[in-house]
Chain A
Amino acid sequence: MVFVKQIDSHLQFECETGNYHTFCPISCVSWLYQKLKIVFFLVIGTKTCGYFLQNAMGVMIFAEPRYAMAELQEGDILAQFNDYQELRRLCLQIKNDRQPSVIFWIGTCTTEIIKMDLEGIAPKLEAEIQIPIVVARANGLDYAFTQGEDTVLSALVHRCGKTLKNFVSSPRLIIFGSLPSIVSQQLTSELTRQGINVAGWLPTASYQDLPTICSGDYVVGINPFLSRTATALMRRRKAKLIIAPFPIGPDGTSAWVEKICQVFQKKPSGLLERETSIWHALKGDIDLIKGKSVFFMGDNLLEISLARFLIRCGMVVYEVGIPYMDRRYQKAELDLLVSTCHKMQSMVPRIVEKPDNYNQLGRIQDLQPDLVITGMAHANPLEARGINTKWSVEFTFAPIHGFTNSRDILDLVTRPLKRNGCSAKLSFIA
């Protein structure tokens, strides 16, 4: 059963069954704990959560991780043990062994089902053990993969300081979304060139340095999966959200900077030249992918931005699968997608929310795209059927934001196509 609704004459949204592969949102721990120093993540769940994290994080797990499972036992499920006492015991142990500046409790499916009152317990325990405890419910009942970061950041919004309005002379800009520090530095300097001062980032490497956010401040997101955080910033902090495309690809970065300039009433200077020079530098890769077709199976919410960039590179996108589509938060990105399609005279891809992997495999079989961006569960089987794949998770871990890292996106996209250049003779593979 496919539910089709015509939004406008250009974009077509569909919604399927939601039977698709993706990472559990607790996986956000793996990149957030690298970003946030001296913090500790405690995932309150079962062996299933632990097994997933341990295998998904791969070798990271051996690098003295600042994360652990609070593994629920049968007694916890049956409420034979007292949640408060149990969490107190574990958190004191963590405090003792690791001295973190803040402990994040990551709620899971199990804590949801047994209705463990993490939000209620945290403030009491926080007062008792004198370490801030931030609760984020990143569970597979409600969210997919990168949305985990969204739950953590929206919980952090409440921890950002407030400045009295009188002290702030002019509206400030705060950027939200977790990026490796090099990449956030690059984006900051991109704005500095335009004379725009970035007052702070959410999150920061250290919990103590969280930016103050107050009514009237401007906020802008750098990732498409941060809609709850955006909502929290608007509703709780009365911040003004700048709805812009995301700084992914030179076109996205340019549009992102331009939109911010517009809000701060600055005339962008040298932006077009800068974008042009990046496109110029990417020419070799673009020649390779021009006219080739892509199919996004959908699992990390970066899909719209990546599709838009790849269409601008001359690729044809058949389908954009996506776990969840916030049409308000992603409005500017969707508009840019449509205008890019018009500009490149390319078909507007269909956007499939909550895709059904089985149906998608049928469509892939019919369409025979040049590249399928998908998860590890389907990658090897598709390759064995002669279909090029790129593992989608890599897009969440590689630096892909800003002008500087546009090449890294194309490196990922072109790798399977370049590989085919040299193994084309091995025709027996498929």
Chain B
Amino acid sequence: MKLAYWMYVGPAHIGTLRVASSFRNVHAVMHAPLGDDYFMKSMLEREREFTPVSASIVDRHVLARGSQQKVMDHIERQDKQEKPNLIVLTPTCTSSILQEDLKNFVDRAALQTSADVLLADVNHYRLNELQAADKTLYQIIEFYVSKIIRSSRFKEKKTARPSANIIGSMSLGFHNQHDLAELKRLLYDLNIDLNLVIPVGLSVQQIHSISNAWFNFVPYREVGRLTAEYLKDCFSMPFIDIVPIGTSQLNRCIKEIEKVLNSQGANVDYCQYIDEQTRFITQAPWFSRSIDCQNLTGKRAVVFGDSTHSAAITKILANEMSIKVVWSGTYCLYDHDWFRNQVENFCDQVVMSDDYTLIANLIEETQPDAIFGTQMERHIGKRLSIPCGVISSPVHIQNFPLSYRPFVGYEGTNQISDLIYNSFTLGMEDHLLDLFGGHDTKNFSNNSLPLAANCIWSPEALSELKRVPGFVRNKVKKNTEKFAAKNRIDYILVDTIYSAKESFRS
């Protein structure tokens, strides 16, 4: 057993659900007890469609007799109701200890359904959300690709013009939909056709054209690499897995794309494009030269997040802004070699942990000028009065902004510069205000209203008032006194507060 207060990555089935629900017309059936279908898509992404996830409920009867017909009935029912192309049966922690032969259910159900049926091959106790997502995506693609290869009609043919698949863009990803728009724009600028985006918005019927692309583009470290490697083995499709976040990495990524395309005879030269974009479109390199950024030189920061974002932001801070990254870390423990290799030269220390208390203690010890991390680090920063820019999942609803906020691409570099600069100046502003005696308005506005002169609060009523949550306390106080004045009550009792609430029309 492990004592855990909070976790950075969710359980395996969440990864599977994120992938399945990213596809178009794919339905996920969870084998789970009541309440396990808590999946945040409709809330965080403000999704208008019903999330295509349902549960075959595991209850006492299932414990006693096994699921028997139940799972198959549920799958067949979903097949009739939703008419999906694919149903993914998703095991949970509960079903994995029941050790029912879910594979057998899937095979038998598949005979009855018009949809394809797959069992997500993810072990709850060995994989986390991100690994499971990577694996499920691979599993679905592999299923359809091998089906295609087996069919005699399959002919491999590349598109006439250079084209790419984008792999790894999926629901509930950190700023994913904005990133996707930015990546599409980048490909358009580079005169590369977009073949498929995998999995978000993809119909499984489109998978037959997957090998038509000249190369695969895997923008994130966590999800998509298994698929890209599989496609490389299968069709010798090259893939680019340089994270296109930050000017230098982005430029490196584009050079790599150029190399891949030219090796297939495209004969493209992106030098001029990179030069134009770097000098005129993105403001980030100029920002690095400006005196604003000069003032940040040597400021101390710490970075923590998933491996993609943490590594990229570390490099931007150290390399492009001359900020001292005291330590940089990730909770993706399973991928430590890659991460260490990426950031080793850009920070004093590499941290690998998924224990937020350890991270909190480290931050407290380090006392950086700014933190770049997840929502958890933001709250740690709040406690310690250190500003924090959120750069990675896990996130809240405010990290699903309505406005255009990519992290990747040239517009992404602008966004990141703002994020970094605003975090530092905020902290500096607070510090200066403290130094010079605080906001001058402090003396005028009093946080609590004075008690009205014409009525007296009984000690019990006062202590009751103190129990009212702070943000409405003044309102309650005002309303009670108004009520007391109106009813000529000059001694306020506990009951007076309640009566006031009852009579008050909102």
Contact = CB atoms under 8 A, between A and B. Distances in A.
Interface of A: 18-19, 21-27, 44, 46-48, 50-52, 54-56, 58, 61-62, 65, 67-74, 76-77, 81, 86-87, 89-90, 93-94, 109-110, 112-114, 139-145, 181-182, 185-186, 189, 277-278, 281, 284, 358, 361, 376-381, 384, 403-404, 407, 411
Contact of A141 (B4, B48, B59): B59
B94 A113 contact: yes
A46 B94 CA distance: 9
B38 A55 contact: yes
The 3 A-B pairs at the shortest CB distance, nearest first, are namely: A24-B35, A140-B33, A384-B48
Contact of B498 (A48, A143, A281, A404): A404
B126 A70 contact: no
A90 B36 contact: no
Nearest to B493: A189
Contact of A381 (B3, B33, B39, B50): B50
Contact of B34 (A140, A182, A384): A140
26 contacts: A19-B74, A47-B7, A48-B124, A50-B11, A52-B35, A55-B40, A68-B3, A69-B3, A70-B2, A70-B3, A90-B1, A93-B3, A113-B63, A140-B32, A140-B33, A185-B464, A186-B498, A277-B502, A377-B50, A377-B51, A381-B49, A381-B51, A403-B502, A404-B501, A407-B501, A407-B506
A139 to B, nearest CB: 7
Task: Indicate the member of B4, B46, B92 with the most A CB atoms within 10 Å.
Answer: B4
Given A51-B10, A411-B506, A358 B81 contact: yes
Contacts of B5: 61, 65, 67-69
Nearest to A181: B467
Contacts of A140: 32-36
Contacts of B121: none
Interface in B299-358: none
B48 A19 contact: no
Contacts of A113: 63, 94, 97-98
Contacts of A52: 35-36, 38
Contacts of B449: none
A197 to B, nearest CB: 17
Contact of A62 (B1, B92, B379): B379
A210 to B, nearest CB: 21
A4 to B, nearest CB: 21
Given A56-B38, A185-B464, A381 B4 contact: no
Nearest to A46: B93
A403 B503 CA distance: 11
B19 interface: no
B125 A110 contact: no
B48 A112 contact: no
A142 B60 contact: yes
Interface string B375-405: 0100100000000000000001000000000
A112 B125 CA distance: 17
A213 B1 CA distance: 37
Given A72-B1, A185-B464, A110 B57 contact: no
Contacts of B33: 24, 109, 139-141
B63 A112 contact: yes
A376 B42 contact: yes
Interface residues of B, number: 61
A142 B59 contact: yes
Contact of A21 (B37, B63, B376): B37
Contacts of B495: 189
Given A48-B93, A140-B36, A384-B48, A109 B2 contact: no
Contacts of A407: 501-502, 506
Contacts of B467: 181-182
Task: Indicate the member of A25, A185, A380 with the most B CB atoms within 10 Å.
Answer: A380
Nearest to B62: A141
A178 to B, nearest CB: 16
Given A24-B38, A379-B42, A47 B60 contact: no
Interface string B77-116: 0000100000000001110011000000000000000000
B1 A70 contact: yes
Contacts of B94: 48, 109-110, 113
A188 B35 CA distance: 34
Contacts of B39: 377
Contacts of A46: 11, 93, 124
A22 B34 CA distance: 7
Contacts of A144: 34-35
Contacts of A68: 3-5
Contacts of A93: 3
A381 B54 contact: no
B35 A19 contact: no
B505 interface: yes
A48 B47 contact: no
Interface in B468-506: 468, 494-495, 498, 501-506
A110 B494 contact: no
Contacts of B506: 407, 411
Contacts of A26: 35
A377 B396 CA distance: 16
B1 A71 contact: yes
Given A62-B376, A182-B464, 10 more contacts: A19-B57, A51-B11, A55-B38, A70-B1, A89-B1, A109-B93, A140-B35, A182-B467, A277-B502, A404-B502
B6 interface: yes
Contacts of B18: none
Nearest to B54: A19
Contacts of A69: 2-5
Contact of A114 (B38, B48, B51, B97): B97
A127 to B, nearest CB: 20
